[in-house]
Amino acid sequence: MESGRHRPRAGYELPLLLFAGFRTLIDGVHAELARQGHPDARPAHGFALQAIGPDGAAASDIARRLGISKQAAGKTVDRLVALGYAERSDDPADARRRLVRLTARGRDVLARSAAIFDTLRADWAAVLGEERLRALEDDLRAVTVPGAFRLDAAGWIGGTS
Amino acid sequence: MESGRHRPRAGYELPLLLFAGFRTLIDGVHAELARQGHPDARPAHGFALQAIGPDGAAASDIARRLGISKQAAGKTVDRLVALGYAERSDDPADARRRLVRLTARGRDVLARSAAIFDTLRADWAAVLGEERLRALEDDLRAVTVPGAFRLDAAGWIGGTS
DNA sequence: TCAGATGGTAAACCAGGTTGACCTTTCTGG
DNA sequence: CCAGAAAGGTCAACCTGGTTTACCATCTGA
């Protein structure tokens, strides 16, 4: 593999670059969402709304999908409800469960996010070329375990500032 | 650029892949650090220790380098001191400043982190090939602004669990 | 039928951020 | 030279997104 032809690269740069890329996309999406009528949407909300899904879910389902405790999921749902992105209703089939469903506004922010992510990806493709961007995606898939999407313990990425 | 030859890819996957890569590296480094005698090191500590640097720094310097408030930097320094990674001393040249310096243990964790990041990068290179990993790094540099390393508002990456 | 699994909530806590207010010390310009 | 601005630091209150422990209500199956 012909190593040694170039100056070796420091390993600590890799996480910084990955994070910078992630952060660039996330910040971009939220800047645009704010412009499109969703100034209060935060990164964590998107993940949670995604975890709820079109058919709704119980708080404990959300907790499992996100890899966090059910209490944390419950608090997040509280915030989504307060922001008008989700609503809670009783489950007629199981009196313990409280079904969380997306509101129209919740579906709206999700649809807009998806569209914005597509245009941001297109921006990257315009710089790198589609082939190279695909290679980047494929390579990342190759070195990560699929379960690395867990969201525990994180305030994440700005948003307040 | 011959697009259209493949199925289009959803834009929302890109941030997930970047994050998964970042998280894989960070988790890997901290798992290994824990094995090497640093079980209490957390991702935020590494960034802060890096910001202190070999010559020491004032809290407000750290704040500027990390893109956070000086109060937040002060609290982080408190934790580094409590963990034995840093120490505070008065600056004889300026009675307002309190110079923060790395302890031997702080230098140790930093050196170990760098070594572990190098081996993790080598693992990736073994899977992807050095050329392709370089391409990935170069591409990320091309699509991110250098300032995207800011660390504000984040509990980051697990570590508790 | 009843013991255990499951769903949900409450309370206390933590880490890592934020603002605002304030004091001390240094720098600077009239 | 000295007054006021700028810079360093800390305190206090607060926010968000997590955690653990404890507990109650409901469902399920041997």
Task: Output B104 or A146, whichever has higher pLDDT.
Answer: B104
Give the list of residues 6+ apart from residue A40 with CB closer than 8 angstroms, or none. A83
Give this prediction's pTM.
0.87
Residues B51-110: tens digit of each pLDDT: 999 999 999 999 999 999 999 999 999 999 999 999 999 999 999 999 999 999 999 999
Under an 8 A CB cutoff, do B20 and A148 touch?
yes
- Give which of A18, A145, A153, A125 is closest to B149, Cα–Cα: A18
Instruction: Decide: A151 and A65 in contact? Cβ < 8 Å.
Output: no
Residues A23-45: tens digit of each pLDDT: 999 999 999 999 999 999 999 99
Q: Does A14-149 carry CATH code 3.30.460.80? A: no
What residues does each domain of chain A span? 14-149
Give the list of residues 6+ apart from residue A133 with CB closer than 8 angstroms, or none. A121, A124, A125, B139
- Is residue B77's beta carbon less than 7 angstroms from any atom in nucleic acid strand C? no
Q: Which sign does the torsion angle of CA A123, A127, A132, A138 carry?
A: negative
Which of B14, B149, B154 minimises the CB distance to A121?
Answer: B14
Instruction: Decide: B44 and B53 in contact? Cβ < 8 Å.
Output: no
Instruction: Decide: B139 and A136 in contact? Cβ < 8 Å.
Output: yes
Which of A1, A120, A128 minimises the CB distance to B142?
Answer: A128
Instruction: Indicate the pLDDT class of residue A6, thresholds 50, 70 and 90.
Output: confident
Enclosing H/E stretch for B150: none
Average pLDDT of span B29-50: 93
- Window 90-119 of B: residues touching A by CB (8 A cutoff) are 113-114, 116-119
Q: What are phi and psi of B7, to 5 degrees?
A: -65, 135
